[in-house]
């Protein structure tokens, strides 16, 4: 089965600047009445363009019973593309919808510099 696709509604840095946080829209007005709950760390493949540009994130299926997820973050503008394996943490709403994903900004052989504040 192909992973579902999604686009974040917002992107920000974590408070300490060590992670990029992708936010996803609520499916209803009262979806976020209860703060989202942090989930397990999951394996993912991060696709990066030149200059540390975050292009795409493919998250493996999780123990929450969901399938994989392919998230397009920013368009490819040409140039070299590379992929690295990372671990991401997901947060879910009380209804089970994906609320946000957290991606470490730096890891073995990579650093996300855009869109996360350095450019």
**Average pLDDT for residues 77-98, to the nearest whole number?**
86
Map out the domains of the chain as residue ranges: 4-111
pTM, rounded to two decimals: 0.82
φ, ψ at 32 (rounded to 5°):
-100, 25
Res. 10 pLDDT band, cuts 50 70 90:
confident
Checking if the pLDDT of 103 tops 90, the result is yes
> Which whole number is the average pLDDT over 89-105?
84
Query: Are 71 and 59 spatial neighbours (Cβ–Cβ below 8 Å)?
Result: yes
Give every CB contact of residue 16 below 8 A, 6+ residues apart in sequence. none
Q: What is the phi-psi region of residue 33: left when phi exceeds 0, alpha when psi lies from -120 to 50, beta otherwise?
A: alpha
Kindly report the number of other CB atoms within 10 A of residue 2's CB atom.
7
pLDDT in tens, 19-73: 999 988 876 666 656 667 777 788 999 999 988 899 999 998 765 556 788 998 8
Task: Give the other-Cβ count within 10 Å of 67's Cβ.
Answer: 12
Of the chain, the percentage scoring pLDDT greater than 90 comes to 29
């Amino acid at each position: 089965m192909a992973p579902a696709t999604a686009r974040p509604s917002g992107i920000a840095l974590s408070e300490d600047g060590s992670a990029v946080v992708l936010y996803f829209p609520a499916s209803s007005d009262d979806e976020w009445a209860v703060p989202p709950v942090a989930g397990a760390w999951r394996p993912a493949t991060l696709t990066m363009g030149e200059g540390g540009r975050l292009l795409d994130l493919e998250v493996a299926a999780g123990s929450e019973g969901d399938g994989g997820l392919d998230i397009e973050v920013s368009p490819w503008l040409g140039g070299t593309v590379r992929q690295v394996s990372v671990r991401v943490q997901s947060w879910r709403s009380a209804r089970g919808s994906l609320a946000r994903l957290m991606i470490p900004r730096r890891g073995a052989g990579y650093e996300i510099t855009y869109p996360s504040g350095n450019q």
